[in-house]
């Protein structure tokens, strides 16, 4: 069973999408199986990360921005702005799809884990996800 989700973003950052994905899973009627989440973009990504302390998210964002700076003279893909090529690199270094086990009809995330869309561009917009649920009722 496939679902399409739209997520509004207000610029760079981590957006908790756990509940949106979980709601899709509930509608599937599947109890045991695998949920695959895929982002249909090349300048944003997906991660599973701690949801308890926001400083983890700030540190991750700061670290990745230092690792992949904007306005590097080596970039040739600059027509879409100084944040575009770094966004593509950040996406390549992270993940565009994730698999999460489904146990008793729920995402099998750990106590402190959440699923995040990681927006790498500065602009506002909307991102599209595909959620695929496979398994037994």
Q: Which residue in this structure is represented by tokens 């966004």?
A: 87
DSSP assignment, residue 123? S
User: What does residue 6 show for φ and ψ, rounded to 5 degrees?
Assistant: -110, 135
Structure tokens at 129: 């996800």
**Digit-coded pLDDT (tens) for 76-87:** 999 999 999 999
Topology of domain 2-136, CATH? Jelly Rolls (2.60.120)
- Predicted model pTM: 0.95
**Digit-coded pLDDT (tens) for 7-52:** 999 999 999 999 999 999 998 999 999 999 999 999 999 999 999 9
Contact 130, 1 (CB under 8 A): no
Angle at 10 between CA 120 and CA 6, to 5 degrees: 85
């Amino acid at each position: 069973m496939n679902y399409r989700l739209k997520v509004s973003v207000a610029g760079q950052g981590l957006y908790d999408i756990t509940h949106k994905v979980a709601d899709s899973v509930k509608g599937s009627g599947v109890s045991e199986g695998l949920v695959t989440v895929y982002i249909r973009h090349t300048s944003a990504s997906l991660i599973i990360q701690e949801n308890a302390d926001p400083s983890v998210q700030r540190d991750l964002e700061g670290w990745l921005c230092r690792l992949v700076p904007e306005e590097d003279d080596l970039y040739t893909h600059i027509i879409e702005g100084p944040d575009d090529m770094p966004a593509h690199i950040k996406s390549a270094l992270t993940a565009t799809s994730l698999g999460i086990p489904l146990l008793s009809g729920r995402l099998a995330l750990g106590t402190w884990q959440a699923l995040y869309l990681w927006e790498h561009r500065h602009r506002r917009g909307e991102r599209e996800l595909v959620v695929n649920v496979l398994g037994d009722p």
